[in-house]
Amino acid sequence: MAQAPIHEWTLLEAARKVREKEISSRELTAAILERIDRLDPKVNSYVTVLPERAASQAAACDEEQARGSLRGPLHGVPVGLKDIFCTRGVRTTCGSRILHNFDPPYDAAVAETVRAAGAVLLGKHNMDEFAMGSSTETSHFGPSRNPWDLSRIPGGSSGGTAAAVSAGMCFAGVGTDTGGSIRQPASLCGVVGMNQAGPVTRTVADAAALLGVIAGYDRRDSTCVDVPVPDYLAAASRPVAGLRVGLPKEYFEGGGLSPDVKKAVERALAGLTGQGATVVEVSLPHTSFALSTYYLIAPAEASSNLARYDGVRYGHRAEGASGVVEMMSRTRAEGFGAEVKRRVMIGTYALSAGYYEAFYGKAQKVRTLIRRDFDAAFSKADVLLTPTAPTPAFRLGEKTGDPLTMYLSDIFTIPCNLAGIPGISVPCGLSAEGLPIGAQLLSNHFREETLFSAAGAVERAIRLPRVAPVEG
């Protein structure tokens, strides 16, 4: 059997081959850097590429290995990070002009963990500005393109990460997902993406392995729970006989769902039942409120989170202002793009005196109802199956003029995040036009193992190309 080209190897294959000295980290890294060099001008999946740094990291890995030591499970394997994660000494922009010159003096926990596991950092992936968007078109550094069709968007906000993984410009990426920002682009780019801790990979096993590396307690995050990390990788190949798959009826009603997507998700279901899973119908009655709830809570929190970007300590600062108030307001006017400004204004309004209860307070109450919906559903089903995104990738510019239509891209991914439960998107078919479609699987809290088993079963049932045909 002919050896697959390097960029098509899975994360696990690449790691094994480095470990077994079939290839050096230097060669592996050089091959991917060369591919980025050649393809990324078309895809624009990276904001920052680090050729020298990656090469010297790879060389250091090889030297250590020659001395008999391996850093961790990702030893010598090149990966990328969404440009939302702070990386010490490496430009971290969040896709925004306001941070176009920001070099953090510290590493985010994920950056630290991935490095400690031995991974080589190729660069930072493009994203919607401050993760606000569903198409990576709001990035200050220009939109990323979908490697399956360069006239189309890769989804967002982790669109750069999904595009880079899909195009073979890294073995894995780490993104973030507060409303669907990983699963939606994963679906649109034909890769696997998970909301918990952010793995974006080309296979379910890779996602399980990467989550195993980056999951775990972070004492610097008070909202993080200190529970043991199970063996996700083993779960990914576990049989699904007897697994109760719930179909939330609300996700399949209404006009927004494309027939291609519906058909593909039905095939995923058939794949699961073909392996012995059973189907139960469940209801998530508050689903229709999820989008508006999310678009109150998220902008409210964002308006407050983004207030620190005021030009006082770092990042962009407006020139020639007289006085600190003018400096701050001009810095923010120049530094933020339209979508960020829109959400800052929505959020500021939702939190303002006299409106708090009607908007933010009410949204938090609805959120509780949505959480209860899921509790009820999981009393009947082990895992829920839904479409990830209502349609395959749309064209660049198609929805930028209509924010509300754009927000609908996340309609299936948002409820799960409001409930705080894990969700994964796994490729389950191609549209008539040859565009990838993803199926979303949701499980109860701390039931990621069930999720990986189900996703693994869908992957085994539906074989799809591993890498996007970007080279034409």
Partner 1 sequence: MEFEAVIGLEVHAQLQTESKIFCACSAKFGAEPNGNTCPVCTGMPGVLPVLNRKAVECAVRTALATSCAVQRRSVFARKNYFYPDMPKAYQISQYELPLALRGHLDIEVGGATRRIGITRIHMEEDAGKLVHEGEFAGAQASLADLNRCSVPLMEIVSEPDLRTPEEGGSYLRTLRDILVYLEVCDGNMEEGSFRCDANVSVRPVGQAALGTKAELKNMNSFRNVERALEYEIRRQIEIVEDGGKVAQETRLWDAGAGVTVSMRRKEEAHDYRYFPDPDLLPLIVEEAWVEELKRTIPELPAAKVARLAARYGIPRYDAGILASSRALADFFEAASAAFPGSPKTTANECVHWKDAILAGRLAPETIAHAVSDREAGTISATASKKLVERVLETGRPFRTLRDEMGLTQLSDTSALDAIVDKVIASCPKEVESYRGGKAGLLSFFVGQVMKESRGKANPKVVQEVLRKKLE
Contact 174, 110 (CB under 8 A): yes
CB of 228 to partner 1, least distance (A): 20
Residue span binding partner 1 (CB under 8 A) among the ranges 132-140, 147-155, 312-320, 401-409: 312-320
Catalytic residue list contains 379: no
- Residue 452 interacts with partner 1 (CB under 8 A)? no
Whichever of 1 and 225 has its CB closer to partner 1, that residue is: 225
Is residue 157 flagged as an active site residue? Answer: yes
Of 360, 378, 394, 407, the one binding partner 1 (CB under 8 A) is 360
Contact 97, 90 (CB under 8 A): no
As a whole number of angstroms, the longest Cα–Cα distance in the chain is: 70
Establish if 384 lies at the interface with partner 1 (CB under 8 A). no
Contacts of 213 (CB under 8 A, 6+ apart): 72, 73, 74, 113, 114, 117
Contact region with partner 1 (CB under 8 A), list: 92-100, 115-123, 226-234, 283-291: 92-100
Residue type, 197: A
Count of residues binding partner 1 (CB under 8 A)? 35
303 vs 413, beta carbon nearer partner 1? 303
- Closest distance between partner 1 and the C-beta of residue 63, in Å? 31
Number of H helices, E strands in the chain: 16, 11
- Report CA-CA distances (Å) from 185 to 16, 92, 201, 341: 28, 21, 12, 23
Task: Verify binding: residue 106, partner 1, rule CB under 8 A.
Answer: yes
Side-chain-facing half-sphere of 20: CA atoms under 13 Å: 6
Residue 356 binds partner 1, judged by CB under 8 A: yes
- Per-position x/- string for 213-232, each x denoting binding to partner 1 as judged by CB under 8 A, each - no binding: ------xxxxx---------
The residue among 151 and 352 lying less far from partner 1, judged by its C-beta, is 352
Work out which of 104, 216, 256, 285 binds partner 1, going by CB under 8 A: 104
CB 298 within 8 A of CB 340: no
Shortest distance, CB of residue 124 to partner 1, whole angstroms? Answer: 13
Nearest of 25, 29, 4 to residue 16 by alpha carbon: 25
82 is catalytic: yes
3 state SS for 406-447: HHHHHCCCHHHHHHCCCEEEEEEEECCCCCEEEEEEEECCCC
Catalytic residue from among 17, 24, 25, 82:
82
CA angle 385, 171, 275 (to 5 degrees): 30
105 lies in the site for partner 1, by CB under 8 A: yes
92: contact with partner 1 by CB under 8 A: yes
CB of 428 to partner 1, least distance (A): 33
**Among the listed residues 116, 227, 229, 312, the single contact to partner 1 using CB under 8 A:** 312
Using an 8 Å Cβ cutoff, are 156 and 137 in contact?
yes
Pairing of strands 199-201, 192-194: antiparallel
Q: What is the CA radius of gyration of the chain?
A: 21
- 320-349: which residues touch partner 1 (CB under 8 A)? 324-325, 328, 348
| CA distance linking residue 36 with residue 460, whole number of Å | 29
Torsion angles phi and psi, residue 400, rounded to 5: -65, -25
Nearer to partner 1, 102 or 289 (CB): 102
Which of 24, 45, 158, 181 does the annotation list as catalytic? 181
Based on the shown chain and the rule CB under 8 A, indicate whether residue 135 belongs to the binding site for partner 1: no
Q: How far is the CB of 272 from partner 1 (least distance, A)?
A: 35
Q: Which residues contact 103 (CB under 8 A, 6 or more apart)?
A: 89, 90, 91, 92
User: 157, 187, 303, 431: which one is catalytic?
Assistant: 157
What CA–CA distances, in Å, run from 343 to 65, 298, 338, 374, 405? 48, 8, 9, 28, 15
Q: Which of 36, 61, 79, 86 binds partner 1 (CB under 8 A)?
A: 86
Which positions touch partner 1 (CB under 8 A)?
Answer: 84-86, 92, 94, 99, 102, 104-106, 108, 219-223, 300-301, 303-304, 307-308, 310, 312-314, 324-325, 328, 348, 351-353, 356, 360
What residues are labeled active site? Answer: 82, 157, 181
